[in-house]
Amino acid sequence: MSNWKNALVHSDISIEDAIVLLSGKKVTVRVLVVVDKNNYLQGILNDGDIRRALLKKLPMTTQIKNVMNSNPHVITSPYSRDEVLKKMADLDLLQIPVINKNREVCGLETYHTISKVKNYDNPVFLMAGGFGKRLHPLTLDTPKPLLNVGEEPILEIILKQFISAGFQNFFISI
């Protein structure tokens, strides 16, 4: 939720001012979150809303309250990362305002930031040794870590899970 406060605006600014804000370096989330003086969510404004206003030949002095999405999808705090990702995927959203139970804006999640997996440099030590006697006869010709579960070997499944969690430094003891 980095620099989301830079995206907060009031509904009385003009389309021209909104374009300037969205084109500047302060607002990097590609959306403006429209709030009132008490920080209550009024709507959101993105490039698409501005394009539609321009196609209607509205003047650049038009206040954004006339062109914003006044009923945006939101996520209520507290929430989980998975909950946000699912909602964004289901609704094909790139940004979603975060509100509290009073509808006050308390954040803005973007797909770009929430979908990033943090990388961990600490080593992961996997023990893959042994004779696999309890799995005989399956392990007579194939080591236990290479036995398939479904279509993939056990070791590959474990490695993929660690990689998806951000780990990248592996040691396998055989």
Angle (CA) 147-149-151 rounded to 5° is: 100
> pLDDT, tens digit, for every residue of 76-115?
988 888 899 899 999 999 999 999 988 899 999 988 888 7
pLDDT score at 98: 93
Tally of CB atoms within 10 A around 35:
20
Query: What are the distances in angstroms from CA 141 to CA 24, 129, 136?
Result: 63, 15, 9
Interval 111-138 mean pLDDT: 85
pLDDT score at 81: 84
DSSP label at 118?
P
> pLDDT, tens digit, for every residue of 33-66?
999 999 999 999 999 999 999 999 999 999 999 9
Domains of the chain: 4-114 (3.10.580.10), 120-173 (no CATH)
What are phi and psi for residue 97, nearest 5 degrees? -70, 145
